[in-house]
Structure 1
Amino acid sequence: MSAQKRLVWPDVAKGISILGVVLLHIGIGVPEGESTWLYQVNTWLDPLRMPLFFVVSGYFSTKILNYTLRDVLIKRVWFFFVPYLLWVSIELWTKNLEWQWVFGNEPLSFSELGLNLLLGHNMGWFLHALIIFNLVLVAVRKLHPAVAMLISFTPVLLLPLNEHIYFIGKALMYLPLFFMGVYLRRAITVFVEAICRLNVAALSFAAMTYAVGYFSRDMWNQFTGEVALPWYLPGMDYMGREEILLLVRFVEQTFQLPMALVMAVAISYIPFISSFFAFIGRNTLPIYLGHPIALTVGYHYVQIVGKWEISMAGEGLLHNTWFWTIVCIGLSAAGGLMLWSVSKLPVVGWSVYPPSLRQLHTMVMHAPVLRQAPGRD
């Protein structure tokens, strides 16, 4: 496998992840969008999308093991925090405006906005997660890798809080995968190299683990009634269906991760398609932050005015699910392009890709001083 090919698959993996997220949001936003074949294919990819994203994020975060807390704040958290604070605030405001019109909600207060940003209860939760995950990683960097990996599973202890703090469930499912990307980087590289050689053992391993993940979720889906398991720690007496589902999803996603890597590597070898996914993967941030704003403004606001009845069997374009699905795909692309364009503008572009704090400090220190006109106080 060439060095170039080894560098392509992570971008492809991130491209698959972000496109899957966009299609998910479109499918649940357009009436009967869940009935389209695009949504059905995306449902099949659901256990592969975000795990793949966080493993790749961890894969490129091994340098943090040599960082101090100051380093991680300046070199990592800063670059996540600025776009998270600014663009997620805009997304929350535009969405709240929709809810005011439709449900009569109160305007978004600064305290409510701050709480949503603090807890990660928003569409930009993955940036919130990366901030927290990087801070946890730098906190345990001096521990033995096995101990650090064990600590990554501790969000399960906070499971009773998940009903009120949704990030607990995100951390439970994805913090261990982020740490796997960090501490198992060498093993992942060896596995990817084996996939590229079409190694039978590696491909068989991926197939078997995928089957374990698939059937574990399938077995869980057979239980349609109320389920309760005893909880022996403080916070609750038993685990209900929602709490157990988080654990089942973690098992499903973890076991299916090798197949997700196989998929990303395989696509990286397909001409044109590989370039497309890799391009998307290199522009994850503007697409992720831009598409929900575009969908709210370009689709949901329009629906409030139009009030069309939309269904798969709808007669006429404005009443058809597929028409609005395609429109929303275009809007999502436009939203990503909009934010990418903003990132290219002087100064304003810092809201998407902020300059380093050191660079910003230098620019401020060397900025021209405006002198007062003679004779004025």
Structure 2
Amino acid sequence: MPAVTVSRQRVDWADSAKGLSIIGVCLMHVVTGVDGGTLTAWGHFSTLLDPLRMPLFFLVSGLFSHRVITRDLTDLWYRRLWFLLVPYLIYTPVQAAIRLDFMEELTASNLIKAIIVGDPGLWFLYTLMLYNIAAVLLRHQPPWLALLISTVPLFVGCMSGAVMEQGYRQAMMYAPIFFAGLHYRQVIFTVAAKASHVKVVVSAFVVFALWELIYRGLEFYYFQGWDEKIAGETSILALVRTFTAVPLGIIIAVWISHTPVLSTFVNFVGRNTLPIYVSHHAALTFTNTVIVPWMAEQTPGMAEALASPHVSILLGLATCVVSGAVFYFVGKTPILKWTLFPPALPRRRTHSASMVKIQG
């Protein structure tokens, strides 16, 4: 019985971590899409979540990808890549088309390029596929070496200027924390198990706070503008930030998982991140460009209220809830659910396996 309890606690806090992450992602997209949104209390809260949302996502993804390193690329394709590739290929063209149209760069060639190289809209799925492939290729290396190698693409990007591109920067930034989750599971579970220990909590908070002071101080006083040098320097600082923030993120996730009511909501969200992830960005664009102008036109008295950043943010958050709910039910609907959760591919049985079955 104790073993079962520990296992459940681990899943619970991991769900809390994913829930906190996707809520943070939605909040970021909402406040940055509203004039003056980043200056509100919502915007300040979103800023606090900056060092946590994506690192926690990738940490948990690595944490529960440990079986990947026991497989070859063929097995990886059938067991994991296929299930990531299908929703990516179905929903990325939509998201990429919206982004390119907004930038007035929507052409067939640009759309195809966005899908092939990983559009910023659904980059998490694309990047996760890359990480899983890298994990299999490095599976025979010692954990410390695999983790070290995972930092190489980011450093190469810093030296070459490739981190100027958002897609490259995002894709390479979180590989180390994924590999940390993949290879150092026991360390992570130990931190989670000690989330109520005062020394551990204080230490995690101090590390988080000190690096945030350094990071934000340099960001405010030192980095001015944007060029290859600044992009490279901020990338390295952000990499350190990922590891200084994650311990506190784990502790917060554990606390959430033990908080009645809050845990029920956050964990449910954490278990259903994909429907929210693929839908909310496009839904926000539709709300801001179609629904809000229509509401203002139909009811002129609402125009002033809709211009308030607080009202716009609440409307944006409601949009995320609605789109997530709609796609949650899409994921439960026959045939349509395959766009999110495709059925497993049939695997060819090897000749030896067939012979064993015949002889049996």
- Give your verdict on TM over 0.5: yes
Deviation at 1:126, TM superposition (A): 0.7
Amino acid at match of 2:336: V
Q: How does 1:101-250 map to 2 (within 5 A)?
A: 105=104, 108-155=106-153, 156-159=155-158, 160-162=160-162, 165-195=165-195, 198-224=196-222, 240-250=229-239
Matching residue of 2:68: 64
**Unpaired runs of at least 5, structure 2:** 350-360
How far apart are residue 332 of structure 1 and its match?
A: 1.2
TM-score, normalised to structure 2's length? 0.87
SS in 1 for 2:85: helix
Q: For the residues of structure 1 that align with 2:74 and 2:216, how far apart are their CA atoms?
A: 45
- Equivalent of residue 55 in structure 1, options 59, 80, 96: 59
Alignment of 1:70-81 (within 5 A): 70-81=74-85
1:82-101 CA distances to partner (integer Å, 9 max, x unpaired)?
1011112122234445x2xx
Q: Does residue 1:270 correspond to 2:259, yes or no?
A: yes
Match of 1:328 among 309, 316, 322: 316
**What is the TM-score when the length of structure 1 is the normalising length?**
0.83
Give the number of the structure whose alpha-carbon radius of gyration is greater.
Answer: 1
Q: Deviations over 1:326-349 (max 9, x none)?
A: 111111111112222222222221
- 9, 12, 15: which one aligns with 2:16: 12
CA distance in 2, matches of 1:340, 1:315: 32
Counterparts of 1:165 and 1:126, CA distance in 2: 16
Q: Would you say how many aligned residue pairs link Structure 1 and Structure 2?
A: 339
1:290 aligns with 2:294: no
CA distance in 2 between counterparts of 1:225 and 1:293 reads 32
Instruction: Report SS of the residue matched to 1:288.
Output: helix
Counterpart code for 2:108: F
2:294 and 2:348 map into 1 onto residues whose CA distance is 44
RMSD of aligned Cα (Å): 2.5
Aligned 8 A contact 2:157 2:232 in 1: no
Q: Deviation of residue 267 (structure 1)? A: 1.0
* SS at 1:124 equivalent: helix
Equivalent residue in structure 2 for 1:345, among 307, 322, 333: 333
Please say if residues 164 and 228 of structure 2, whose CA atoms lie closer than 8 Å, have aligned partners that are also in contact: no
- Residue identity (%): 30
Check whether the contact 2:118–2:126 (CA below 8 A) recurs between aligned residues.
yes
The alpha-carbon distance between structure 1 residues 138 and 30, as it changes in their structure 2 partners (threshold 3 A), is same
Q: Distance in 2 between matches of 1:296 and 1:96?
A: 13
User: 1:315: how far off?
Assistant: 7.7
**Residue pair 2:120, 2:166 contacting (<8 A) in 1 also:** no
8 Å CA contact 1:8–1:278 kept in 2: the answer is: yes
Q: What displacement does 1:5 show?
A: 2.4
2-structure distance, mates of 1:281, 1:21: 12
| 2:356 paired residue number | none
By how many angstroms is 1:60 displaced? Answer: 0.2
Moved more, 109-118 or 295-304: 295-304
**Deviation for aligned residue 1:225:** 5.6
Q: Quick one: distance in 2 between partners of 1:38 and 1:360?
A: 52
Give, in whole Å, the separation in 1 of the partners of 2:272 and 2:347: 23
Structure 2 CA distance for partners of 1:305 and 1:162, relative to 1, 3 Å: farther
Once the two structures are superposed, residues 39-82 of structure 1 have per-residue CA deviations (whole angstroms, 9 ceiling, x without a partner) of 21111111111111110110001000101101111111111111
In structure 2, how many angstroms separate the alpha carbons of the residues matched to 1:276 and 1:253? 26
Residue in structure 2 matched with residue 90 of structure 1 by the alignment: 94
